Amino acid sequence: MKEIYEVTDPEALKSLAIPERVKILELFEDLEPRTAKQIATELGENAARLHYHVKELVRVGLLEQVDTRVKGSIVEKYYEPVAKVIQVKLQVMIEENAQQLSDVMFTPFRTTEQDLLRTLNRFVQSDEDMRKEYKNTFAFNITELYLSQDERNEMVTELNTIIKKYKGLKNEPGRRKMKYFHVIFPLTPAEPVNDSDEAFEEPLDE
């Protein structure tokens, strides 16, 4: 598996705007290969419908078959993402379709919202003893920062280092699957750069 894969193909970009396919890719956070049936079971989706999305992700190069195992008369095909990190080249996206850019960027928001609502509903509907299992499992933080480009880059690098430390942990007893989502974006445009060494001054009216 590659470390990073940059998406430039329009067909692959379209897949990143489809919630079901984004959910499939998110499932591989533990970097463990899965069959289409295992993916469907973990996501609680119809196997036939899910298999179609797996085939499409393979076709556009975001998933790849990495193993085949024979169990009796059944041939199991195992898949994993083409890379640990799949990122989009935004300039290509903008050139292809500005609306598609919006779809791709907002799809993770929507799938995260759905996951959070399901967890909150389970919490509300559970009894008091079950609710104890949710203690110290939620974390929420939102803030606004003033950063230079270099400070922004340094912050992102530090966050990625921390995430990488925990991303490789395997699904073992004592661990539960959690979702972490963060986004950083500018609220104000960049200040214009003055190429002239001298400040521009308007002449005063006499």
Q: What CATH number has the domain bearing residue 87?
A: 1.10.10.10
In a domain, 50, yes or no: yes
In a domain, 58, yes or no: yes
Supply the angle between the helices 19-26 and 36-43 in degrees, to the nearest 10: 100
Query: Which stretch, 20-24, 100-104, 166-170, has highest mean pLDDT?
Result: 20-24
Q: What is the pLDDT of residue 37?
A: 92
pTM: 0.55
In a domain, 122, yes or no: yes
Q: Under the phi-then-psi rule, with left for phi > 0, alpha for psi from -120 to 50, and beta for the rest, what region is 31?
A: left
Q: What would the pLDDT profile of 2-20 be if each residue is shown by its tens digit?
A: 888 888 887 888 888 888 8
In a domain, 12, yes or no: yes
Domain count, the chain: 1
Q: What is the pLDDT of residue 203?
A: 46
Q: How far is CA 58 from CA 25, 80, 102, 137, 199, in A?
A: 11, 9, 23, 34, 56
Contacts of 68 (CB under 8 A, 6+ apart): 75, 76, 77, 78
Predicted confidence band at 185 (pLDDT cuts at 50, 70, 90)? confident
Tell me which residue range forms the domain holding 96. 2-135
Predicted confidence band at 79 (pLDDT cuts at 50, 70, 90)? very high
Statement: residue 193 has pLDDT above 60 = no
Q: What would the pLDDT profile of 96-150 be if each residue is shown by its tens digit?
A: 555 666 676 777 777 888 888 888 888 878 777 777 788 888 888 888 899 998 9
- Other beta carbons within 10 angstroms of residue 1's beta carbon come to 13
Q: What mean pLDDT is predicted for residues 16-27?
A: 87
How far is the C-alpha of 88 from the C-alpha of 104, rounded, in Å? Answer: 9
Q: How far is CA 170 from CA 30, 68, 134, 159, 185, in A?
A: 6, 22, 21, 20, 31
In a domain, 192, yes or no: no
Q: What would the pLDDT profile of 39-73 be if each residue is shown by its tens digit?
A: 999 888 888 889 999 999 999 999 999 999 998 88
Q: What is the pLDDT of residue 197?
A: 47
How far is the C-alpha of 164 from the C-alpha of 166, rounded, in Å? Answer: 5
In a domain, 185, yes or no: no
